[in-house]
Amino acid sequence: MRSPTYLHDLLVSTLFDEELDADPDLETLGFSAMWIKGADLGALARRCGLDLTTRTPCHLSEILDHQIHDDSRWVAEVGDWICVMPERADGEFLRSMTEGGREALGLSMDMSSASFHYARDGRTVVAFDPFFPDESSRFGDDPHALDHLMDGLRFQISGDDVLDDLVEPPESISSALALIGRVTGTDLAADWFLARHSRYSPAS
């Protein structure tokens, strides 16, 4: 049985070099990715400023060095979905990317916040803070649109009064990643994080 922090831990160990001076941390180092359905790769590349002629096979574990060197981004295609990482994942960007009947998911985090967005056809369906996904942090046309896919997932960070079976940030992020897997109908570990896909350099 997988650890409740499995996807978070796998993403961290895949993205960040073990030789980093400090323990790698998504919140400190920053993370942002978009998954989009119904997009043509050529049109997507133009919107994201990528040069399709620079396509090079690439594992996610290799992208950080290239991204630092030449601002390359990792692009993965699984079924009807395409992931771009790193990429903007805010609501405004996702709404613009989904106009015309497309769907998109975005997950991002930094030292001050984390956010999950699901947009469709130019509108935010639901968005929330994975660490505190209560009613006050949810917004969108249908804040409960993905509730049926959240069984067994734990997001809410435990308060100081909880002593046992704590929910901490890595489990919240793992739950958000698992939710992305359920929406896309894919295995985030095998299909995305551990598989070889592509990297593209920015368009000049």
Return the domain boundaries, the chain.
6-200
- Crossing angle, helix 169-184 and helix 6-15, to 10 degrees? 90
The per-residue pLDDT for 162 is 58
E-state strands within 110-179: 114-120, 123-128
CA distance 155 to 176: 8
Query: Which residue is associated with the tokens 């400090």?
Result: 22
Q: Which of 5, 3, 27 is nearest to 16 (CA)?
A: 27
Q: Tell me the three state secondary structure of residue 189.
A: helix
The per-residue pLDDT for 20 is 52
Segments in the chain below pLDDT 50: none
The per-residue pLDDT for 158 is 64
Under 8 Å CB-to-CB from 60, ≥6 apart: which residues? 14, 15, 74, 76, 85, 192, 193, 194, 197
Q: Tell me the three state secondary structure of residue 195.
A: coil
